[in-house]
């Protein structure tokens, strides 16, 4: 039985979902120290002018080292409205945006207190839409040592790391992207890029 350890992630990249599709058991880390500029609170989508990063503002914790499970979402800067507008303008013309948009819009209307809950519920929705059924649990403590059948991707799947060297088992499969003729194929964007462009065929691309 193959097990993967992942950090919590906001509309995680395709690489992350390949783990959800292929590993027998997934643990999502709750006890790592929260760090900014990671996929924990940001995702990357494709706009008409290239890659666009969307970040969820968080409430500054009282302590320097705050576990991920305690990180609260901030209401700062009307971010829900801005994120939904950015997603809508980026993907409005894709083949499947109309089909899925009503599933995603409520996440940008309802207020969530904790980032992990928001990420988890979004992840559950995406898994359902793609038709993958990973066995996911939250961690109970921070694990440092792993058996040969366990793989730690918590810090490997990271916007500042090149997946080609950090994660050799991930080889992105090109798929149709709406701005491809202008921008070329952009690998490893947020899973919604794959979903809105490919719909039910997303699963074939992941596998």
Convert 67-86 to b/e letters by CB count within 10 Å (16 or more is b): bbbbbebeeeeebbeebbee
Question: For residue 199, what pLDDT is reported?
Answer: 95
Domain that holds residue 171: 3-206
Convert 127-146 to b/e letters by CB count within 10 Å (16 or more is b): bebbebebebeebeeeeeee
pLDDT in tens, 48-103: 889 999 999 999 777 778 899 999 999 888 999 999 999 999 999 999 999 999 99
**Phi, psi of 190, deg, nearest 5:** -55, 150
Structure confidence at residue 33 as a pLDDT band (50, 70, 90): confident
Give the mean model confidence (pLDDT) for residues 133-138.
94
pLDDT in tens, 147-179: 999 999 999 999 999 999 999 999 999 999 999
Domain count, the chain: 1
- pTM, 2 dp: 0.94
Question: For residue 29, what pLDDT is reported?
Answer: 95
């Amino acid at each position: 039985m193959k097990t993967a350890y992942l950090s919590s992630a906001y509309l995680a990249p395709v690489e992350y979902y390949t783990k959800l599709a292929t590993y027998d058991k997934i643990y999502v880390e709750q006890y790592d120290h929260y760090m900014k500029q990671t996929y924990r609170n940001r995702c990357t989508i494709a706009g008409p002018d290239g890659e666009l990063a969307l970040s969820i503002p968080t409430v500054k914790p009282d302590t320097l080292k705050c576990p991920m499970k305690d990180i609260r979402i901030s209401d700062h800067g009307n971010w829900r409205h801005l994120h939904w507008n950015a997603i809508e303008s980026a993907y409005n013309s894709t083949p499947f945006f109309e089909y899925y948009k009503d599933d995603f819009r409520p996440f940008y209307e309802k207020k969530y207190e904790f980032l992990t809950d928001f990420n988890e519920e979004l992840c559950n929705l995406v898994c359902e839409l793609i038709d993958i059924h990973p066995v996911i649990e939250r961690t109970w403590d921070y694990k440092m040592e792993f058996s040969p059948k366990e793989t730690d991707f918590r810090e490997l799947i990271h916007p500042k790391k090149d997946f080609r060297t950090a994660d050799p088992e991930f080889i992105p499969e090109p798929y149709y992207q709406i701005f491809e003729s202008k921008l070329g194929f952009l690998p490893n964007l947020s899973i919604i890029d794959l979903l809105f462009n490919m719909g039910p065929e997303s699963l074939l691309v992941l596998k």
